[in-house]
Amino acid sequence: MQAFSQRRLINTAISTKRIFINVFLLVFLSFFIVYPIMADELNIGDKAPAFDLKDQNSQNHSLASYPGKWVVIYFYPKDNTPGCTKEACNFRDDIELLTRQDSQVLGISVDSVNSHKKFSDKYRLPFPILSDANGNTAAKYGSLIKLGPIKIASRHTFIVAPDGNIVKIYRSVDVGKHSREIIDDLKRLQGDLD
């Protein structure tokens, strides 16, 4: 009888240990699951979600800061990474053409103001890059990805017309030609194609 009780006690301890290990593994693995943090997906014609974010010089920017302008909002994953650097430098190189289209370029990532300052200075970026450190703005635009405890912005771009409505959405971006693609689309959207 005592042997039966001891065996039962050992089996209970083993079962409890297995449950604990399974729960621990489930929690541990959930930190490495990649999933997007999305609001309702935005569509062309939707009002662009409002934001108020600091740029690389600690100046605040919002959509209301650009009345009458076409605003190009591009989300990107990380300062100083190859694809993000190429994309930012192409916007830099094409800034005059973009400005001629009466547009304002705003880059947004979850990097800090300090990180943006270093990135902007290093590559002489002539447009604001905004710090969305908590990821709230990226989430509103359906452009936030969570990698366990780490958050990054997806590479998405939105063109917002002067009336505040989204007129173009890019969810698949080729960084090598994206700024030129936007220039062409701005011309088309503004009826300026020659």
Q: What is the mean pLDDT of each successive set of 10 residues along the chain, which is 194 residues long? A: 57 59 49 47 92 96 93 95 93 94 95 96 96 94 87 94 95 91 94 57
Edge-to-edge order in the sheet of strand 150-153: 34-37, 144-147, 150-153
Distances (CA, A) of 159 to 69, 97, 189: 10, 15, 10
Whole-number pLDDT of residue 30: 47
Local structure of residue 171 (DSSP, 8 states): S
Q: What is the pLDDT of residue 127?
A: 96
Active site (annotated) includes residue 84: yes
Kindly name the residue from 71, 84, 110, 130 that is annotated as catalytic.
84
The total of other beta-carbon atoms located within 10 Å of residue 151's CB is 17
Write down the pLDDT at residue 149. 82
CB 109 within 8 A of CB 132: yes
For residue 179, give the nearest of 94, 122, 80, 75 by alpha carbon.
94
Q: What are the phi and psi torsion angles at 8 (to 5°)? A: -65, -40
Number of helices (H), then strands (E), in the chain = 6, 10
Residue type for 128, please? P
